Structure 1
């Protein structure tokens, strides 16, 4: 299976629903790449000894890793955290996530500020560039197990929109003009 992404509707209904437009407007991987989003499909069943994951980590400089299980019975203050993850924000560093089990969505903004939903499942590794506005949520299964990867020490700080005056945001927006 390949990565699936689409433009979202504007419904305020449950954030965990797919929110596809009708008719659906898919977004190809090439378009995601032009927004600075990159993707790999790996075998999550062997993540602890996966040579392909090790190669990616070495090439990209992902030196830090941890694993988080996101579901009601394992994440303290679950509903509050899910709302926080779903608040539109950016980071000063790339966001790298590898889905080891379950499902989740990353929503990102395109060049015209429209939402694109990226559907992630077991084995999907994605990187979002520093400075991109995004948000994260689970799907209706309410569960994912995710590996978080970082270059160097982990940085958890999110800057909620608006953050257009940040240098990293300006650098990201400037990078989009190449396409």
Structure 2
């Protein structure tokens, strides 16, 4: 039985990416030239520093900050935060909107938590099929755990916000 290896892009989408990969993928999604134009950066220098095939070059601190700022302003910062979580061993938590927490949103958070448990269960089953868990499979389970933890925290916070809302 042949083992199918994930491409670098698939790995980055299904696992917690390293910081350079997260920045490069975010810049690609948002438009590297748009980011460069917004902050008056030289697009070729930005491209060269984000090139995943060139391990000798990396984004500068300024480029990191500006890509992160642009991503935040365009609601696309999740992958960068995931990479920072991997580096720091910390977890980032997206909070539910305090003004929009009713019964529907609360049950939506429950449904999301159940979905995350199901996904992690399925990925664990897939990882164990061959009797071992390789590095890629472990990386997928690590991301599943982060998302499961985030989902549980969102559920508890939604319940806390729900309690503070007048229901009538």
Q: Which has the larger radius of gyration?
A: 2
TM-score by length of 1: 0.24
Structure holding more helix per residue: 2
Structure holding more strand per residue: 1
TM-score by length of 2: 0.25
